Amino acid sequence: MLEELKKRQKRVYRILESALKNDRLSHFYLLAGAEDPLKLDTAFLLASSILEERRDFSLESSNTLRRMKEGNHFDFCFVDGSKESIKKEMIEDVFSRFQKTGLESKRRVLLIRDVENSRPIVSNMLLKFIEEPKAEVYVIIVTDALDSVLMTIRSRAQIIKFDRQDEEYLMERYKEAGYDVLDAYLLSKITAEFQTIDDEAFMRAKDVVYKTIETLDDVEYLEIMYQKEVYSYMKSKTTEHFKAFLNMYLKILRTYLDDSLADSPITDEVYCDDLKILKAHEPSKLLEEVLDILSKTDYNYDRRSLMDKLAYRIVKISKGDKE
């Protein structure tokens, strides 16, 4: 994890290393930028370093870090907005614990993932907590959607942005892992780092994108195709698999639409034929709708409802194109 941070996010590593080394830690960090699991790993590593009062990064094998990830460290609280909406009671519980002196360390750390997935009352509670900092209390927020975080919260944070990995580098890594050129290209577009993916979800997502494009000339068939290729299939799958599928489906469709509006570096004949079809069906309008639905996938929207809404909008755009 630390080696990956040094290699892929050099600026982030230098900023945090300097803060630890010179004992100039901010009491409020906001880690934002590319959709990269390394952000959350970095937040845990930083929190562990703070609790251990180190002048360098905590060891990844440290007992403190292990216990934090297990939810078994009294002076550390992790609130995960990626799993469910952050509720008032969750934050009140943290505040209650942090009223007491640290039991295992002089310091206490609150780590929040996806703070934007909360009601305004929660954001206002956090804002008050940040504005009236207690000695030796640190707050770290991790988000992929910086613009969705309350401006008053952003203005009080030291914001550290993570850069996206170079797409050419990612494509080569996926090719080395055995993916063909087109799959490696698509994966370089839909992932922020080289990672092990759910191949079944990826192949299904790619196939459904292809069939979505096929239906544009007979767009009434789209909802039937979703029923057959997605909903019926997903009945036997876990919620996490459906989430992975939907995320990949939308990002692959976005890639096709992006490439239909510009020169694509991919010369695959079938791919190019699909781009030609998209060019005849208002790709810029379709892209707007895909991006809107994609922006909602990280929140607690019903995923089938999101797909139904997208189907409705695609049908509407395609019919309008023909009228």
Give the separation between CA 162 and CA 104, rounded to whole angstroms.
31
Whether residue 170 lies inside any domain: the answer is: no
Give the separation between CA 76 and CA 270, rounded to whole angstroms.
52
How many other β-carbons are positioned within 10 Å of the β-carbon of residue 60?
Answer: 14
Expressed as residue numbers, the domain containing 255 is 198-322
Residue with tokens 């299904």: 204
Predicted confidence at residue 269, as pLDDT, reads: 93
Residue with tokens 């239906």: 215
Say if residue 156 is in the same domain as residue 45: yes
pLDDT in tens, 218-261: 888 898 999 999 998 888 888 888 888 999 999 999 999 999 99
Whether residue 131 lies inside any domain: the answer is: yes
Helix (H, G, I), strand (E, B) or coil at 138: strand
Give the separation between CA 131 and CA 128, rounded to whole angstroms.
5
Of 140, 162, 184, which one is at a domain's C-terminal end? 162
- Provide the domain count of the chain: 2
Question: How far out from the chain centre does Cα 57 lie?
Answer: 24
Comparing C-alpha atoms, which of 153, 160, 146 is closest to residue 42? 160
Of 136, 162, 188, which one is at a domain's C-terminal end? 162
Say if residue 132 is in the same domain as residue 237: no
pLDDT in tens, 59-116: 888 999 999 999 999 899 999 998 888 999 999 998 888 877 656 778 999 999 999 8
Helix (H, G, I), strand (E, B) or coil at 28: strand
Write down the pTM of the prediction.
0.61
